[in-house]
Amino acid sequence: MNVIAKIVFCLATMTCFASNEMTLDEKIGQLLMVRFNGKEANEDAKALVQEVHVGGVIFYNWANGLDSPEQVRSLNKNLQQLTLENQTPIPLLIAVDQEGGLVSRLNRGFTIFPGNMALGKTNDPDLAEEAAYAMGQELMAVGVNMNLAPVVDINNNERNPVIGIRSFGDSPKSVSIFAKKALDGYHKAGIITSLKHFPGHGDVEIDSHENLPIVNKSIDQLCENELLPFSELCDLADTVMTAHIMVPSLDSENCATLSRNILLILRNLIGFQGVIISDSLLMEGVLKNCDYSVEEAAIRAFNAGCDILNLGGRRLFRTRDNLDLTVREIQKIHQALVHAVKTNRISEERVNQSLDRILSLKKRYKLSSSVQQIEPTDSFEHREISKKIAALALHTIQNGPIPSIKESRIALFAPEFLRETILQTEIASIGKKTSALFYQSLIPCAEEIFSVQKLVNQSDMIIFCSYNAWKNPAQTTLLQILCNIKKPMILISLRDPLDTSLFPNIPLIISTFSPTAPSIQAASDLLNTGIY
């Protein structure tokens, strides 16, 4: 059978494989979304596609390069072509987390967009649709067919360490409105979507990558807040991603990903009939309940109601090595699931139900084993949308006079990891003379704290770019030292807005709600106007 014939065959017959056309190994493989290391479709990728028969692949910068649209397009093309050599040639789901803002995997050669909270601050839901459509077009241009977005967690805890500016805001209704527009935009571009993270990850103070958060709310409180976007948008969503959180009012023993009770709420009460995908099963929040066995987590998540088992990301054990999940380990997980079926721990009927949902999704989106050559990605029109969002999102508080910035010598302080981003913008040269100090990571060391005096003495004004200083005391200490110098100061809060409450009397405070270049440039443009 030639390539074209195989593509036509797999599209025409995809849904019937669930009953009698596929082996058990093939069925289980379709339930897995995996990652591998490599910028090309290498031997690891070939083993996963052709031996494990995986149904999906998820990309990360640290694993797959994602260096340019050309590299991503070539990688996708070759991955999909590997499926044509399978006995049952089913196209892959190829996914990324391209939320915009803080979580964006495709950055080189793609348009950089501010994130969800910046969108929410514009008060213009149509911009969410425009941004999603633009991002979706760029994903489609390189063969990515699934975006694990939009986030519909409600940021109703300002000390949430993992959601924050990834959320559209703290209002359930507003989150629903903006998320609906985002869904519309992605679907217009032909992208498969995922609402995340069910039943709501917004009101926690622990990162589920590192531990198991607990949401202590009543069922009534959940219905009025966390569950509202899922219930209002379930008919529009292609997939829903679970959260590794404990919700005792719904299940006192299992986190949501492992809870049949919680996922039955999604199915039977909310009425979602699409594909349920787990958050990464390598996260501490789920593994600590499974004796740190990914195999056990996969079996339990599937029996709870997950259709796709997400094996992406890295294990983040604080005391363990071997952080990457190898192909051999993925093969062991696959065989553990096959064994669970053969020993009746998992029913094959249940496997077929999930398989039918997955294959129906692939057929509905007409997934193909070919990747079209679509031009280009980062366009002027898309950059203009991003620029508009960044400018409209800015929020300022002025408590005192600010001298002319263009006529001042500026001391600029920012985290080292944002050096490249900041140097792309005009804020790096905003004054008559601008000298920058980039402090290491998010926590300035003692040497850096005591080395600022010389820089400040040679300057007329200070601009401090904070990045979650609220949970980094040494960063706050540096900011306090600078405030005590009694020179005109501007605080630009680049991430969580909680930073703006730390030093409310700074003469000028700007919140961007996004640490991206367009948002930093928008702050620079605002400062250059002199009108705050």
- The tally of CA atoms less than 13 A away on the side-chain side of residue 406 is 6
Closest among 308, 300, 309 to 346, alpha carbons compared: 300
In degrees to the nearest 10, what's the CA dihedral of 170, 173, 179, 184? -160
- Residue 528's φ and ψ, nearest 5 degrees, are -70, -25
Residue 268: CB atoms within 10 Å:
9
For residue 349, what are the CA distances in angstroms to 229, 355, 356, 528?
A: 31, 10, 11, 64
The answer for residues whose C-beta is within 8 angstroms of residue 257's C-beta and 6 or more apart is: 242, 243, 244, 278, 279, 281, 286, 297, 301, 304, 306
Structure tokens belonging to residue 346: 């998992």
Closest among 489, 493, 479, 466 to 402, alpha carbons compared: 489
Residue 5, helix vs strand vs coil: helix
For residue 93, what are the CA distances in angstroms to 30, 253, 278, 350, 368?
A: 10, 32, 15, 21, 10
The radius of gyration computed from the CA coordinates of the chain, to the nearest angstrom, equals 24
One-letter amino acid of 515: P
Residue 377: CB atoms within 10 Å:
24
| φ/ψ bin of 288: left (φ > 0), alpha (ψ from -120 to 50), beta (otherwise) | alpha
Residue tagged active-site, from 53, 197, 201, 209: 209
User: 445-449 long-range contacts, Cβ below 8 Å, gap at least 24?
Assistant: 445/474, 448/478, 449/474, 449/477, 449/478, 449/481
Residue tagged active-site, from 279, 307, 460, 496: 279
* Contact predicate 10/89, CB 8 Å: yes
Residue 225, helix vs strand vs coil: coil
Sign, Cα dihedral of 464, 468, 470, 471: negative
3-state helix, strand, coil in the chain (%, to 5): 45, 15, 40
Q: For residue 131, what are the β-bridge partners?
A: none
Active site residue 209: yes
* Contact predicate 447/414, CB 8 Å: no
In this structure, are strands 146-147 and 93-96 parallel, antiparallel, or unpaired?
parallel
Active site residue 382: no
Cα 151 to Cα 154: distance, rounded to the nearest angstrom: 9
Would you name the residues annotated as active-site residues? 209, 279
